[in-house]
Structure 1
């Protein structure tokens, strides 16, 4: 099984698992040992699934503003958790390939393996929800046909992205490409970097 196949299996299993409960407050049953890459991949997709549905909820035009703010704060935290987990997955690859010596003509990729895998996780959710649209019985045939066309494109995109991920990992393993990971220097959650947060703290002082 290639690494992308492992990802796609875990992401799909997790997406289905989430929708057995379909509740942003539900707790997952993760069938993998903590500390394994499989555990990290499952957790990654769970974060994505919860955030997907929080994004749906917050777009309700009748939502109470107080509730909307609480959800927005929750989405902000989810984004930070997602970033932290992507960096953890990249650390797995850095450790795995630490003894690989890049070839003299080795090149760097536009994104790290884990950020490509992040997009693969989101694709699983897009495919699942587009499939649900295709299966609806309360909409026009035009709606179904439109969604089926979109689903076909998403499925093709998953094949292409999976192929690209496996090719990237093979290139890294054989020294044709090298990894260089930049930590996501997000500023809005850092009280020392967000001027609204540190400005508020100075005013209180």
Structure 2
């Protein structure tokens, strides 16, 4: 089983596990051993899955404003955890390929392996939920048909993205692509960089 097959399987295991209770309050029970890539991938998708449902909840037009503010801050914190974990995955890849010497004409890819994996994790969620809609008995036939059309596109996108990730990893291993990582340097959660936060501290 190649890397993307493994990742896709783990992402779907995480999604299925979440939907046993289908609650954003459900604590993660990571089934994989510590210090393994599988454990990291499961944790990554669990964050994405919880955040997916938080984003659904906050779009309720009748939501209490106080609850909405609390949810927004929870989503912000989740986004930071997601970014941190993606960067951790890139660190894992950097260590894996540390002995690879890029060729003199090696290219730099526009996206790191971990951010491509991030897209695959989100895509797994899109496929799962679009499949539910394509088969929802309470929906109209037109709705199910339209969702099936979208699902077909998502599945094609999954095949293309998996192939692209495998190609990128092969190119890094062969020295054809130089792996270069930039930290996201998000500013909105940093009290020293967000003017709303640091101006508040100065008052």
SS in structure 2 at match of 1:9: helix
Report the alpha carbon displacement of residue 28 of structure 1 after superposing the two structures with TM.
2.1
Q: 1:156-187 CA distances to partner (integer Å, 9 max, x unpaired)?
A: 10000000000000000010001110001100
Distance 2:15 2:32 in 1: 15
TM-score with structure 2 length normalisation? 0.99
Q: Which residue of 2 is the match for residue 163 of structure 1?
A: 163
Aligned to 2:143: 143
**1:199: Cα distance to partner?**
0.1
Q: Distance in 2 between matches of 1:109 and 1:64?
A: 44
The superposition leaves residues 92-137 of structure 1 with CA deviations (integer Å, 9 ceiling, x where unpaired) of: 0000000100011110000000000000000010000001101111
CA distance in 1, matches of 2:10, 2:122: 12
SS at match of 1:105: coil
Counterpart-to-counterpart distance in 2, 1:80 and 1:183 = 12
| Residue number in structure 2 paired with 1:73 | 73
Q: Which residue of 1 aligns with 2:86?
A: 86
Q: Where has structure 1 moved over 2 Å in runs of 4 or more?
A: none
Query: Where does the alignment leave 5 or more consecutive residues of structure 2 unmatched?
Result: none
Q: Number of residues paired by the alignment?
A: 203
In the alignment, the residues of structure 1 paired with residue 90 and residue 68 of structure 2 have an alpha-carbon distance, to the nearest angstrom, of: 33
Take 1:60 and 1:31, find their aligned partners in 2: how far apart are those partners? 33
- SS, match of residue 16 in structure 1: helix
Q: Which residue of 2 aligns with 1:13?
A: 13
Q: Name the TM-score, length of structure 1 as normaliser.
A: 0.98
Q: CA-to-partner distance for each residue in 1:51-87, whole Å, 9 max, x for gaps?
A: 0000000000000000000000000000000000000
